[in-house]
Chain A
Amino acid sequence: MAAMPQYLVNQNLEQAKPKFVPPPNSPQAVVLHREIIKRVRIQIRPREHRPKHLLLGTINHCEFRVIKPIPVHLDVRGNTVIASWRQIDEFGMGNSSSLACDDLGHTIAELYLSLGADAPRLGPDLAKVWAVLKQHVMRRS
């Protein structure tokens, strides 16, 4: 007897099942190496034109003069710019880098006045801040 094709002879042989195909609207991901790439997130942001750092030479206060440039770090959160002087852990905020620096300047002036008033009684941490302030800012006589 001539050989029959196997699927005709053995009716119990399992046929290949159809592959599961997700509907086109569901989220899909292409994984090249399952162990290496779990998830890829692409975030498109507009180009940032603001500088990250600025040397500040004014605190916009007529009583004070900047004698050594203040290193300011600029950071953007949403529509707000944050200008921070990390050495003394102070910051200012505004809609632009200049306004944020203005706000930081007011903070520096207030801090100078308050620390200057209590200079002999300052603890070690505030004494360090006071020493840094005096290096960069002086009060006009």
Chain B
Amino acid sequence: MPESSPIPTLLAFIVCDTVIQDAATQKRTLVGVFDQVAAPNAPLHINSLGLYAKLVEGSGLYQMKVRLVNLKDESPVMEIKAAAQWNKPEDPLELGMNFAGIPLSEFGTYEFQLYANDVFVGRALIRATKLQLPPLGPVKGN
């Protein structure tokens, strides 16, 4: 891990359902941007979650790390690492990641934290809330 790599600046860190990358153009499409997930009961699982990050002002090799923590006590939910090679300093670096079945043990606020070479560069929040169904009323019909 090179110490000389400059600290990148995070321009965007977005949570969505899926990040799709077009094979021909390398463009990324974010499907279903959200910051809240609702479920009737806890624990709950997020079946499909995508993370998109756009960084600038970096160059060289980076060990990128994404952590998800429960903000109640900052207990870790998951952590992944990936190496990223930043070839052109003048170009931004885009990261797209997709996850399936992220377990959330309770309702509350969770935070995705992004690190580059173990240096904290930014975060994104999601809230897990209890799904309140409307009370059943009298059935109207014929």
Contacts and interface: CB of A to CB of B under 8 A. Distances in A.
A97 B6 CA distance: 23
Interface of A is mostly: loop
B126 to A, nearest CB: 14
A97 B75 CA distance: 12
A97 to B, nearest CB: 6
Interface in B53-90: 57, 69, 71, 73-76
A49 B76 contact: yes
Contacts of A67: 6-7
B69 A58 contact: no
B76 A96 contact: no
A11 B122 CA distance: 90
Contact-residue bracket for chain A: 10 to 19
Interface string A78-92: 000000000000000
B111 interface: yes
Interface of B: 6-10, 57, 69, 71, 73-76, 111, 113, 116, 118-123
5 pairs of A and B residues whose beta carbons are closest in the complex? A57-B119, A49-B75, A57-B7, A55-B119, A50-B74
